[in-house]
Amino acid sequence: MNQIIILTRTKSIVFLIALGVCTFLYNLHIPVVREWDEATYGINAYEMAQTNNPFVVTFGQQSDVYNSKPPLGVWLMAISTKIFGVNTFSLRFASALLSLLFSICLFEFIFRQFKDLHWAFLSALILMSSIGFTGWHEARSGDFDAMVAIFISLFAFSSYLVLKNKNPQYWFLAALFLSAACLTKGVYGLVVIPGIGLFFLLQKQVKLALSHWQFYTACIGFLFLFLGYYFLREKLSPGYLQAVLQNEVGERVFLETNIHKNEIPFYYHSFKLLFYRFQPFILLIPFAVYGVWFEPNKAKQNFLWLICLSALSIWTIISFSKTKLVWYDGSLYPFFAILVAHFLAKQTWLSPPYLYALVFAIWLAVFGLNQNEKDSFSFPKSLEYARHEHSIAEPINVYSSNFEHPIRYYLLQDSLNGYQSRFITNLHYLQPNDLLMLRNKVYLDSLHQKFELVASNGEDILVRIVNQ
């Protein structure tokens, strides 16, 4: 029995893989597509898979300037769509799989660099137990936030290897991961740069970076990949750069957008982290940072300072940004997990088996929250209800004044299943015998034609237009 309890590298990896499959892949297809970005990316990915054009992201066969981000995330989703088809599992698979692989990579990196199995295991376990990283809009979703968090973390790890090994060759690896971050979510991928730069400055190792040709070559390679895509897309789809400057830099960072018409408090992200996104681990962050000062191993201490400064850089930028959306903090969780795990691994008063059991209990709670997430969008159930419960095979017109992309995503699925339906923006052109699904019963007041009720599901109502 004691041999089973003793942690080894092999046992750790097997356990983390099993836990990661449950955390990131189990029931990945539920809930239904969320009402905002997921649906947009799903249509982007399907159209890219159909056209095989990797450079111009489209929506409705037109260049998409609503999603003005570079295409790496869409590339991965398009590959998944080709394999699994158009469904919520394929939409979320790339993000979930990368998160699973990164959790194992996080364990391996800390174990290989510092030979600290306890710290390595806890880092991966805490990351999987973080509701902010595993939940809504992050790892278990068809969004880009977990992807960019992973690439940013790998960039920071590569930068540390430059210092630890005094080997400028690692700048090439760092440039590759930074390029991946920026090609996933645009300028957001740069949020960690101030922290990395400050780390090298405080370590008095700026010369190490600036005195080697590898650094400059890596910078040129990064600019070629990142900026090169923007200029290529502008050439293929004029007006793209203007959309990027407006959506990613201007409105998001410096102006209140149509998303946030009023000022959001500076402490918004701190409040979310404290009361939900990183509970209960957030309570240990001050002690974890304080403990870095007393780490006797110089290599570990240097790495932990890089982690602290990287997290501080991200937190500062997202807190000062005018637009604050709850998932912008996604890149903090790998760094927070490392810090908290280091602190807990140092606590000799709590034996490892009891500590693992405690963190695992938190994981169980987070797992339950993710598995019980409620559908926030009723339309797919209403459409399925009409097709299967009422055996309606004829075309359905769908009208809603709300955000239309998720409706279009499920109408795309409907068409791939052999039906013909369409989203309409004007109720006046309906003809007698047309079927109409209204996303809210209040829209009945806008319907001037006579109609008869066919089916009703929650707020969604299906009617047939009849002769005057």
Q: How confident is the model at residue 468 (pLDDT cuts 50, 70, 90)?
A: low
Which residues is 453 bridged to in the sheet? 463
Domain ends where: 371, 393, 428? 371
**Model pTM?**
0.93
pLDDT score, position 149: 97
Tell me the two tokens of residue 39. Answer: 């649906």
The phi, psi pair for 155, rounded to 5°, reads -65, -45
Pair 70, 188 in one domain: yes
Q: Which of 303, 311, 306, 370 is nearest to 335 (CA)?
A: 311
Q: How far apart are CA 33 and CA 379, in angstroms?
A: 10
Pair 101, 236 in one domain: yes
Q: How far apart are CA 113 and CA 107, in angstroms?
A: 10
For residue 90, pLDDT over 80 is answered with: yes
* Contact between residue 187 and residue 216 where contact means Cβ atoms under 8 Å apart: no
For residue 190, pLDDT over 80 is answered with: yes
Q: Which single residue is written with the structure tokens 């981000």?
A: 69
CA atoms within 13 A on the CB side of 331: 33
Name the H helices within 115-239.
117-128, 131-134, 145-165, 170-185, 193-202, 206-210, 213-236
* Contact between residue 179 and residue 70 where contact means Cβ atoms under 8 Å apart: no
Pair 366, 443 in one domain: no
Q: How far apart are CA 360 and CA 257, in angstroms?
A: 40
Q: How far apart are CA 10 and CA 160, in angstroms?
A: 26
Q: How confident is the model at residue 259 (pLDDT cuts 50, 70, 90)?
A: low
For strand 62-63 and strand 421-424, is the pairing parallel, antiparallel, or unpaired? unpaired
Could you give the number of structural domains in the chain? 2
Pair 389, 362 in one domain: no
Q: What is the mean pLDDT of residues 144-152?
A: 97
Range of the domain at 337: 2-371
Domain ends where: 371, 402, 429? 371
Amino acid letter, 38 = E
For strand 451-457 and strand 460-465, is the pairing parallel, antiparallel, or unpaired? antiparallel
Q: Which residue has the higher pLDDT, 117 or 466?
A: 117
Structure confidence by residue, pLDDT tens digits, 395-446: 999 988 777 889 999 999 999 999 988 998 888 888 888 999 988 777 787 7
Pair 329, 455 in one domain: no
Pair 257, 166 in one domain: yes
Domain ends where: 354, 371, 388? 371
Which range is least confidently modeled, 15-19, 251-255, 277-281, 284-288? 251-255
Pair 416, 314 in one domain: no
pLDDT score, position 139: 95
Count other Cβ atoms within 10 Å, centred on residue 382. Answer: 23
Pair 301, 385 in one domain: no
3-state SS track over 239-282: CHHHHHHHHHHHHHHHCCCCCCCCCCCCCHHHHHHHHHHCCCHH
Pair 110, 186 in one domain: yes
For residue 3, pLDDT over 90 is answered with: no
Pair 226, 265 in one domain: yes
pLDDT score, position 283: 95
Structure confidence by residue, pLDDT tens digits, 299-323: 999 999 999 999 999 999 999 888 8
For residue 128, pLDDT over 60 is answered with: yes
Pair 454, 315 in one domain: no
CA atoms within 13 A on the CB side of 359: 26
Q: What is the mean pLDDT of residues 343-353?
A: 88
Q: What is the mean pLDDT of residues 131-149?
A: 93
For residue 457, pLDDT over 50 is answered with: yes
* Contact between residue 127 and residue 334 where contact means Cβ atoms under 8 Å apart: yes
* Contact between residue 383 and residue 32 where contact means Cβ atoms under 8 Å apart: no
Pair 299, 187 in one domain: yes
Q: Which of 355, 377, 331 is nearest to 7 (CA)?
A: 355
